[in-house]
Chain A
Amino acid sequence: SQTIHQWPATLVQPVGSPLSLECTVEGTSNPNLYWYRQAAGRGLQLLFYSVGIGQISSEVPQNLSASRPQDRQFILSSKKLLLSDSGFYLCAWNRVGTEAFFGQGTRLTVV
């Protein structure tokens, strides 16, 4: 069966520090991969999506970047965090036209 792992669950980082959030998928190949951010009590904002290794599409200009070094690995990064980067980050995968499967999320607090 397919599973998705996202870590860490919570993270407190100082302003200006780097960020690396990792997401891995098991049990499937060539998934579409997504990074979302969710503000408290709000919907999902798509940050990046990827349809294949090295293929990254960005939805909003921001302080973040994403990479897909392997088929089932998706990494969200920042060189220097801003206070506004705080939020709940969700990784997800799916195939076109089917349901999406989400990781448990990472609560990032930039202080």
Chain B
Amino acid sequence: SQQGEEDPQALSIQEGENATMNCSYKTSINNLQWYRQNSGRGLVHLILIRSNEREKHSGRLRVTLDTSKKSSSLLITASRAADTASYFCATDGSNYQLIWGAGTKLIIKP
């Protein structure tokens, strides 16, 4: 089942600008993860944030988590053409499954 929802569905920005994507979910979680998928390829893990964390950084990525609002955001700073991809959030609930959102398609214009 798809409980996570990303918005926007698509985002087009100029190279060098920051890109922000949001994810909302419905049930309580242990952690939330963000992944990137280049066209026609498998998904690549970007960052994992646990339910007791509020913010996490990895290079040009910043993830925030607000468990009271059941939402997370992924910020990519100083975007590059290579950041063009689809971005997915996934939540890890009480069972073995990862619950996936529908993704945000990010296009970085040169």
By a beta-carbon cutoff of 8 Å, the part of chain A in contact with chain B is 6, 32, 34, 41-46, 49, 51, 59, 88, 90, 92, 94, 96-105, 107
Interface contact tally, CB-CB below 8 A: 57
Tell me the count of chain B residues lying within 8 A, CB to CB, of chain A. Answer: 24
Cβ-defined partner of B96 (8 Å) among A49, A104, A105: A49
In the complex, B25 has a CB within 8 A of chain A: no
Kindly identify which residue among B2, B45, B100 contacts A99, using a CB–CB cutoff of 8 Å. Answer: B45
- Is A103 within 8 A of B88, CB to CB? no
B27 within 8 A of A: no
Q: Output the least CB separation between A28 and chain B (Å).
A: 15
- Segment of B12-20, B36-44, B54-62, B72-80 engaged in the interface with chain A: B36-44
Q: Chain B interface secondary structure, helix, strand, loop or mixed?
A: strand
CA distance A88 to B102 in the complex (A): 15
Residue numbers in A under 8 Å from B88 (CB-CB): 43-44
- Contact for A107 among B1, B40, B98, CB less than 8 A: B40
